[in-house]
Amino acid sequence: MKYRFLFTKEASKDVESALGWYEEQQIELGNKFLSDLNFTLEKLTNDKIEFQKYMGEIRKIRLQSFP
Residue 11 sits at φ, ψ, to 5 deg, of: -65, -40
Average pLDDT, the chain: 85
Task: Tell me: pLDDT of 34 over 80.
Answer: yes
The answer, yes or no, to whether residue 22 has pLDDT greater than 90, is: yes
Flag whether pLDDT at 46 surpasses 90. no
pLDDT > 70? residue 2: no
pTM metric for this prediction: 0.76
The model's confidence at residue 33, banded by pLDDT at 50, 70 and 90, is very high
Task: Give the residue from 60, 28, 57, 29 showing the smallest Cα distance to 43.
Answer: 60
Range with the lowest mean pLDDT among 14-18, 36-40, 41-45? 41-45
